[in-house]
Amino acid sequence: MASHPSPAPSASEPTPRIDAELSALKDAVTVALEYAKVLGTSAAEVAISKQQGLSVSTREKEVETVEFNKDGALGITIYRDGRKGNSSTSDLSPEAIRQAVKAADGIAKYTSEDPFSGLADPALMAQDIRDLELYHPQDIDAEELAQLAIRAEEASLSVDSRIRNSDGASANAHTAARVYGNSHGFLNGYCSSRYSLSCVVIGQESDGNMQRDYDYTVARKYHDLLSPEVVGLQAANKTLSRLDARKIPTAKMPVLFAPEIATGLMGHLIGAISGSSIYRKSSFLMEALNTQIFPDWFSIEEQPHLVGALASANYDSEGVATQDRRIIDRGQLETYLLTSYSARKLAMTNTGHAGGIYNWTLSHSNQTFDDLVKAMNTGLIVTEVMGQGVNGVTGDYSRGAAGFYVENGEVLYPVEEITIAGNLKDMFMGIQGVGKDRDLRSSIRTGGILLSEMKVAGN
């Protein structure tokens, strides 16, 4: 049965343009900052966001849920003589905003003094605000999204008789407006859009055992999504390739991470070089700055200003200007990822990473994924990892996995119920190749990553 938490927009009632609210959000931030000044606070910063979206999920080609959401909130942080207080409100009337400011100020008066808290340096505030083309509104109704999801399911179910069922499809359209301002005089905002479609498919083997896999597409522009037929076909083919999976004997062997799994591998690097991990001494890359942690041909470029990309931004969540930078330069760690707080704790320079990273692009070894399979010769392709067996302090890595066994550069059969293990320091240094056919669906843009050796535990 479909659920309707809130009336969904129809074709005759186009979704309101959220960019029209940007000016009102700036006014709300101004009200908060001005009242903070009236209260005599040392400094203040305010962030406000408003999101609206439509999501439709289907199962067995029938609409299962329709959800329309529209929400937002204002959050204010007050600094008073080294003390900090936070408050938030979803009521954006001037009186409610002033009450939230007063509440944050009241909290600040009773918190412990912290010499490292406060706004980012005013000299770091973003000045050059470019149009990064992140906002592409599209009038879409629930029926249109439902048809996308159903078409993806239909395409997947028509591929092969071994595809027994769909585990559902989902189509989503979301827009947001965000504004940030602080008592340095910085006040700016932007709108963004994101559309996605996914499909999950179940396949059944002759002995009754079942496998599932999925595929998805995501884009800033609605018309940049892959067609539902392509998403359904790819989901079905990935599921079919996993049928008749088996275990393999325990051994050490090369491992090739598929692109969507390779992004997770680089995610462990993000955690290890984040300023909070460094000042808490909870990272396996302590004292690694300006040292070699990857092969000397390997680099990671951060590109915050790529037009239309999924992780582009002119400034971070503290208003600090983002900039192109080398995170890894020919294997050497060039920078930690620092906010104003962690930079002060470490007596270093803020790098503008409050809120995350911005379009990391990995260098490649001029090989496609198929080239990497051949270069591996005999080893394991990993297409799924499970569990949380990663120790950020020691770098020890141990996770359940599934994928494909490769021999003499050819995929022989699917593999399941195995564990892959190593240490992230060794894994990073052991990278033999990176695919040039990059997956662009996340903030980490990379192809497959081939590691020289990991321990694979099976039979």
CA distance 355 to 49: 14
For the segment 220-236, what is each residue's pLDDT rounded down to a tens digit? 999 999 999 999 999 99
Q: Do domains 18-50+67-124 and 142-178+189-242 have the same CATH topology?
A: yes
Q: Which two tokens stand for residue 407?
A: 């021999």
Q: Is the pLDDT of residue 6 over 60?
A: no
Task: Give the pLDDT score at 388.
Answer: 87
CA distance 47 to 100: 13
Q: Is the pLDDT of residue 2 over 80?
A: no
Higher pLDDT, 15 or 153: 153
CA distance 331 to 295: 5
Select 142-178+189-242's CATH number: 3.10.180.10, 1.10.3210.10, 3.30.2290.10, 3.30.360.10: 3.30.2290.10
Predicted TM-score (pTM) of this structure: 0.91
Among the listed ranges 156-165, 168-177, 291-300, 316-325, which one has the minimum average pLDDT value? 156-165
**Residues 442-448, mean pLDDT to the nearest whole number:** 97
Task: Give the pLDDT score at 11.
Answer: 34
| Cα 54 versus chain centre, distance | 20
Q: Is the pLDDT of residue 81 over 50?
A: yes
Q: List all residues 6 or more positions away from 134 whose beta carbon is below 8 Å from its beta carbon.
A: 190, 191, 192, 193, 220, 308, 312
**Residues 367-376, mean pLDDT to the nearest whole number:** 97
CA distance 451 to 449: 7
For the segment 114-149, what is each residue's pLDDT rounded down to a tens digit? 999 999 999 999 999 999 999 999 999 999 999 999
For the segment 376-388, what is each residue's pLDDT rounded down to a tens digit? 999 999 999 999 8
Are 338 and 353 in contact by the 8 Å Cβ rule? The answer is yes
Domains of the chain, residue spans: 18-50+67-124, 142-178+189-242, 245-458
Rg (CA), the chain: 25
What is the four-CA torsion angle of 86, 92, 97, 103, rounded to 10 degrees?
-40
Place of tokens 């320079």: 349
Residue by residue, what is the 3-state secondary structure of 294-308?
A: CCCCCCEEECCCCCC
CA distance 320 to 351: 8
Q: List all residues 6 or more positions away from 174 whose beta carbon is below 8 Å from its beta carbon.
A: 51, 52, 53, 54, 55, 193, 194, 195
CA distance 429 to 454: 12
Q: Is 214 helix (H, G, I), strand (E, B) or coil?
A: strand
Write phi, then psi, for 53 (nearest 5 degrees).
-165, 160
CA distance 159 to 235: 10
CATH 2.40.110.10 fits 18-50+67-124, yes or no: no
Task: Give the pLDDT score at 17.
Answer: 65
Task: Give the pLDDT score at 211.
Answer: 94
